[in-house]
A and B are shown apart, each in its own frame.
Chain A
């Protein structure tokens, strides 16, 4: 039953593309890129360390590494994305504020497109930088917290998220 539906959808999609000439992004398995999880794991760590390089501030970096997440579409068993959330806690907030400016200036030089930079919708109006890397296919969000609730220390909170990928045929996603 499911197969038939997909078949119909794909046919319709093709028809639509041919007649309208527009690029229709489907989530059919044929469209999601295939990649080994280990490769994305290494790559996202590289993205994080690249950002850390630009920040160039003395401080404590949180320990946990990246983890596997769910895609918006696609089966749990075969589709995955990776996320890495980490923080840098510094002794004083000025150097972190400065590093936000440095990020805004330097990230584009490394292929990032700044999508927004400014206060977000939180009550604290947190200064947030959001950027995408069209070539490497990553999205990042960097928030500058002058103080955090637990101990008032200043920190940068960085989130990195990859595109959605498909594991090689015959494999299932390993989640951690």
Chain B
């Protein structure tokens, strides 16, 4: 119970000042984490398997031991950054609630003072004698008291109304308002205290996956009570990126920081917000998701040993059939869950690796612009900051693109970046892997169903709009969509149903794009580029023969982008001179990099 005396004297601003202190710690921890990974570790103690060059960095067992300690330290800094951010948010939230209660109290106290009443130390309100004489005497003064019990309160209110002393009603009202303010403060106090208690620091140097899972729980607990302080409903989810961008600028720096801390998943996914804001938020989601999944994986019962042949002496007790049955049971009950968690963790590790790869042979900082572990998983990773890029490419992968396979997509955008950046050394380039939709799982079963493309189309349109919204390059920003196989269908669906807000479209290995001509892809003439599937080991190579027959145009003619009539520029994957090493994959990257950087005249075309 918060007492009246406490509410009277306490200064909510003191909690806000404390929050600032935690904010400073959170920022410092974030800086320290960055410096450890991007500078100290990258320069002196790169990864053991690191192969960038053997002349950079320390190698050997001692270096490995040093690196392990520094990596652990970096992890501790990340944990500090996130957890202190939560403390700050909780203290700000409490301060806001307390302040609201105190304002109500101050209002009632002011009114009492003006009316000439005395507020007692317990919050009751004493009023003087006043009013028209009754039986020759002025009606007595008295003390109005507020009651917890609603019935008693109603009785008191009624009595006050009928009292010949006109002050009594007013005094009762003051007393009620004082009590109500104190109750509000008490509620806020009991609501916030347990959440805050959970945000105590741990006391060891290791941040385990259980610790990260706890951080996730803490965050949700704080979210639940944040309510009025920072309403999740205020986040303009699903709104046009321009609106989201505008909303972000209406917030104070403190509110921005607290929103990102309390609702990192929503903020990280919000198209229209700056890349570095989304990146920081999504990295917190990544760490927490990883911790949660690792905990869940560890909680699954271990798989019974693989059934082997019968062992002498055991056959009477436990046959291989028994073991096989137990294994089957495990598979039935836990197999799917195990696979899901393992797949997601594989992808998470690939993403973490990429986020830590800035500086490796000139690779720029990467930004996590989207992440979710739900369903097949979503991830959007940019190499180089797209907000500053003169040229941005968004790569949309095709079938069987999932979090578990994200390493291949990351590889693709690293290669696209390395091929594009040297062409425009005076400019900035960003290449983005966009796994933002539920790609079809099965080439055979799912790919023809265009609902996958349609569901993803609005997400893709919004994402691209968001990139353009936040881009601040002097040159105005040039954007290219690079789509492979089923990703091309999604791009086509986007152009058909929404606005595909890019300047160039590259289609590789397309089974059909739902539109019959390049002109319908929302880009100026000459800016649709097609190439055949490379010799990449993609599972859907066999689909091309009938993939294009799903879409009809006009008099039953079904067109695909490799048809001349479609109107796309046909890029070649053939190489002159038939090198043993310079193959289709390299040639196609090269052509793509020319389009991405706007060097259209240099693109090699299919021989006519």
Interface residues in chain A, defined as those with a beta carbon under 8 Å from any beta carbon in chain B: 36-42, 45, 60, 62-70, 72-73, 76, 81, 83-87, 89, 115-116, 120-124, 126, 128, 130-132, 134, 137-141, 143, 145, 148-151, 153, 157, 159, 161-163, 171-172, 174-176
**Judging by beta carbons under 8 Å apart, are A176 and B357 in contact?**
yes
B602 near A73 with CB under 8 A, answer: no
Task: Report the stretch among B80-88, B148-156, B201-209, B409-417 that lies at the interface.
Answer: B409-417
- When the two chains form their complex, are residues A73 and B537 in contact, meaning their CB atoms are under 8 A apart? yes
Q: A122 touching B605 by the CB < 8 A rule?
A: yes
Residue of B nearest to A89 (CB): B425
B114 at the interface (CB under 8 A from A): no
Binds A, one of B46-54, B333-341, B492-500: B46-54
Known: A83-B586, A139-B581. A42 touches B53 (CB 8 A): yes
Given contacts A65-B362, A116-B576, contact A174 B422 (CB under 8 A): no
- Inter-chain contact B361/A64, CB cutoff 8 Å: yes
Q: Which of the residues B353, B390, B418, B606 comes within 8 Å of A83, measured between beta carbons?
A: B418
- The one of B357, B362, B590 that contacts A64, using a Cβ cutoff of 8 Å: B362
Complex: how many Å from CA A72 to CA B585? 7
B424 is an interface residue with CB less than 8 A from chain A? yes
> Distance (Å) between the CB of A38 and the closest chain B CB?
4
Distance in Å from the Cβ of A137 to the closest Cβ of chain B?
7
Q: Is B25 an interface residue (CB 8 A)?
A: no
Residues of B within 8 A of A64 (CB): 361-363, 417-418, 421-422
Q: How far is the CA of A29 from the CA of B210 in the complex (A)?
A: 40
Q: List 30 A-B contacts (CB under 8 A).
A: A41-B53, A41-B54, A41-B361, A45-B53, A60-B425, A63-B362, A67-B363, A67-B414, A67-B415, A70-B415, A72-B584, A87-B425, A89-B425, A115-B579, A121-B604, A121-B605, A121-B607, A126-B602, A130-B577, A132-B579, A132-B582, A134-B580, A139-B580, A141-B582, A149-B598, A149-B600, A150-B426, A163-B580, A163-B581, A175-B410
Given A73-B537, A121-B605, A124-B601: A42 in contact with B576 (beta carbons within 8 A): no
| Chain A: CB-nearest residue to B363 | A176
Query: Contact at B604–A76, with CB atoms within 8 Å?
Result: no
B residues 390-412 touching A (CB-CB < 8 Å):
390, 407-408, 410-411
B422 touches A157 (CB 8 A): yes
**Number of contacting residues on B, CB 8 A?**
61
The A-B contact count (CB < 8 A) is 180
Q: Which residues of B contact A86 (CB under 8 A)?
A: 422
Q: Is the CB of A76 within 8 A of B362?
A: no
Complex CA gap A163/B47 in Å reads: 24
Residues in B with CB closer than 8 Å to A137 are 580-581
A148 CA to B420 CA in the complex, in Å? 13
Q: What chain A residues lie within 8 Å of B419 (beta carbons)?
A: 83, 85, 159
Q: Is B427 an interface residue (CB 8 A)?
A: yes
Complex-state Cα separation, A70 to B538, whole angstroms: 12
Output the residue of B390, B536, B576 with the most chain A CB within 10 A.
B576
Take A64-B421, A139-B579, A150-B426 as given contacts and tell me if A174 and B51 are in contact as well, using a CB distance cutoff of 8 Å. Answer: yes
Partner of B582, one of A130, A171, A172: A130
Chain A residues with Cβ below 8 Å from B136 are none
The contact of A122 among B415, B589, B602, by CB within 8 Å, is B602
Alpha-carbon gap, A150 to B603, bound state (A): 15
The CA-CA distance from A176 to B354 in the complex, in Å, is 8
Nearest-Cβ distance from residue B12 to partner chain A, whole angstroms: 50
Residues on the A chain within 8 Å of B55, using CB:
42
In contact, B410 and A87 (Cβ under 8 angstroms): no
Known pairs A67-B414, A67-B418; A76 contacts B49 (CB<8 A): no
Instruction: Name B422's contact: one of A72, A85, A124, A132 (CB within 8 Å).
Output: A85
Contacts of B313 in A (CB 8 A): none
Besides A41-B51, A69-B415, 7 new A-B residue pairs in contact (Cβ under 8 A), listed by A number: A81-B581, A115-B579, A132-B581, A149-B597, A149-B600, A157-B423, A175-B407
Given known pairs A62-B421, A116-B576, the reply for A176 and B52 (CB within 8 Å) is yes
A63 to B215, CA, bound (A): 40
In chain A, what residue has the closest Cβ to B608?
A: A121
Nearest chain A CB to B476's CB is how many angstroms away?
Answer: 13
B608 to chain A, nearest CB (A): 9
